[in-house]
Structure 1
Amino acid sequence: MSPLTQSPSRLPRESAAEIEAAAAVWAARVDRGPLAPEEQSALDAWAAADPRRAGAYARAMAANAYFDQAAALGPNLRADAAPAWTRRRTFAAAGGAVAASLFGVVGANLLWTRGRIATPKGDVRRISLPEGSAVTLNTDTAIRPDFSASERRVELLRGEALFDVAHDPSRPFRVVADGVSVEAIGTSFTVRRHEDGAVEVIVRQGLVDVRRVGAASGVRLPAATASRVDSDQPILAKALSPEAVDKAMAWREGRLDLTGKTLAAAAAEFARYSDYEIRFEDPALGRLEVSGVYSISDPEGFARAAALSLGLFAEPGAGGVLISASAAS
């Protein structure tokens, strides 16, 4: 019996990666043409068995719709080109109420505008790409994909993303961010654009080549290696422990590992996910170091815990919290 048609009650709880993979298979099958009645019934049953499946399927179908549009436009893809949604892709594919709910999930979590895929502030989402790769977009992140027969290219316009690249030696996978090119064949790595113009790369698996756009050579990064590329500095590799790699990517699970960061740096990280401000009565307080793992959705909880551990005080107010050396009178 196919994994897509087994009874959910006979299977252990699926991981998020397994659900995304199955959703990609269903989306690819629907993309080839109308489903047979028994296939449609199997899809409906699969999507209804777990609410996570509906969201994964919606993201896979939306990605397919986007890349169909990109392929149709080819090299003439315009910055203002929006993805083509068809009735077959959004409603007939999943049938009735299930399809309607999927369309709502897509609209709420990802934005497809002007040839871009983006997440709003505070949201983290994974999408499947039609050639088998996947990308996880961190908060307030935007990418512009451009796939052709000879190359898979993604421009990171802002933010941070994890790329899980399907192996395809005939089509290199290249991420371009602020003048930096990161190329892989089949691997897993993150790329982040910092506000100061630096580009940070962390390799989880495989090998990637990092170079400045137009340069003849660069630096090859193996697994558990990072590089922060500044405009006026040579590209250097820094070895990381497996634990450090996991900590750097904790945002995929809605967490921030802030061990060893200053209060000011921690506040800046939380500002990426929320408009709730963490302020300091004295800038010197921001230079104190903190430790611990915190939810990206709870900046006030972090401020209270950090203040308590440092003998400080956290006073919530309108739109934020003030950390001070003494309690408010």
Structure 2
Amino acid sequence: MTTTKETSAEIDAAAAAWAARVDRGPLSAEDQAALEAWAAVDPRRAGAYAKALAVSVHLDRAQGLGSNFAPKTHPAAKANERRRLLASGGVLATASVIGLLGYGALNLRGRLKTAKGDIRRAPLSDGSAVTLNTETTIRTVFDSKMRRVDLLRGEALFDVAKDAARPFVVVAGQVRVRAVGTSFTVRNRDDGQVGVVVREGVVEVWRGSQGKPVRLAAEHAVDVGDAGALQPTQVGAAAVDRALAWRQGQIDLAGLTLGQAADEFARYSDRRIFIDDPAVARLKMTGLFSASDPDGFAKAAALSLGLRAVEQADGVRLSRG
């Protein structure tokens, strides 16, 4: 029954408390059920919870994404300011966030997706959590024997709750990644390969239904193509952190050419970096850059490499000076 006594301020305060709990880590199955039951009482609760989550996502990303991402009146804040904004109802960030009841459906049978430039973290019904990078779509199917997530597009970080009776399997095309309790990323690349990076624990990776699994320990990675043996490599903690820089709205350009960097920025922004000269496109520049500021990167590249950066209506063009 919908309550008529609860005020909007009281709903916002309760929603903020739930969002703060989610912000500290994945909810247990019992807490997730309690959260869904709380939201089902009054439609206003789901909306308030979505708003509170948006504030949390907004503040987590603000420092990395720069001024183009956040409303000017609400700059990046530390954890204590996040709590203050949540408690007061806050503001709705530009990152899109779906309501609580949507999360419940997604955990069992539906989809979750992000738009270009959006990063979203969602709890799953088993106590795990998933963080979706830009332009990512997943579909979850959990039953009594297996927890399956189809990565239909993009890139996601999975923080998996331990459940030995139900393996956690991510399916990306022909690639399978299996874990019990661990943390790892999976990315569908434009060239058709699937990249896997393990942050914690151990996962098994294989290709096709009859493929032989290859084990990856923490700080290891593998790129899986259509054919050939899987060759895991040890990348180290620093490389794993750089691979996950997108969670803070940053792009790691280590080892990338300017052409590849331009493609990476295009994943996050409609502002494009145009390079007509193949020799310029092959030049390299390293470092971490804000994903939402392709113009800033292009200008920094021009300054460092002796190039010319010309702003256009839809982006910036790099060429020899």
Instruction: Report the TM-score when normalising by structure 1.
Output: 0.72
Written as runs of structure 1 = structure 2, the 5 A alignment for 1:266-281 is 266-281=261-276
The 8 Å contact of residues 274 and 297 in structure 1, kept in 2 or not, is answered as yes
Change (3 A) 1:185 1:324: same
- Report the Cα distance in structure 1 between the residues aligned to 2:318 and 2:293, rounded to whole angstroms: 15
Query: Is 1:48 matched up with 2:87?
Result: yes
- Report the Cα distance in structure 2 between the residues aligned to 1:34 and 1:264, rounded to whole angstroms: 47
Q: Work out which of the residue numbers 206, 214, 234 in structure 1 matches 2:229.
A: 234
Change (3 A) 1:50 1:30: same
Name the counterpart of 2:142: 147
- Report the Cα distance in structure 1 between the residues aligned to 2:292 and 2:139, rounded to whole angstroms: 27
The 8 Å contact of residues 24 and 57 in structure 1, kept in 2 or not, is answered as no
The 8 Å contact of residues 164 and 187 in structure 1, kept in 2 or not, is answered as yes
Per chain length, whose mean CA-contact separation is higher, i.e. which structure has more relative contact order (CA < 8 Å, sep 6+)? 2
Name the counterpart of 1:323: 318
Name the counterpart of 1:247: 242
Residue 62 of structure 1 aligns to which amino acid in structure 2?
A: G
Residue 157 of structure 1 aligns to which amino acid in structure 2?
A: L
Identity of aligned residues (%): 47
SS at match of 1:275: coil
Identify which range, 24-33 or 204-213, moves more after superposition.
Answer: 24-33
What per-residue deviation string (whole Å, max 9, x for no partner) do you get for residues 66-106 of structure 1? 335x3xxxxxxxxxxxxxxxxxxxxxxxxxxxxxxxxxxxx
Q: CA deviation at 1:259?
A: 2.7
Instruction: Report the TM-score when normalising by structure 2.
Output: 0.74
What per-residue deviation string (whole Å, max 9, x for no partner) do you get for residues 209-239 of structure 1? 0011212522000000000001122111100
Structure 2: which 5+ residue stretches go unaligned? 1-12, 15-19, 53-82
Residue 215 of structure 2 aligns to which amino acid in structure 1?
A: R
Name the counterpart of 2:309: 314
Q: Work out which of the residue numbers 66, 77, 81 in structure 1 matches 2:106.
A: 66
What per-residue deviation string (whole Å, max 9, x for no partner) do you get for residues 37-79 of structure 1? xxx9xx99995346499999965543113335x3xxxxxxxxx
Change (3 A) 1:217 1:272: same
The 8 Å contact of residues 165 and 185 in structure 1, kept in 2 or not, is answered as yes
Root mean square deviation, CA, Å: 3.2
What per-residue deviation string (whole Å, max 9, x for no partner) do you get for residues 137-172 of structure 1? 000000111111110001110100000000000000
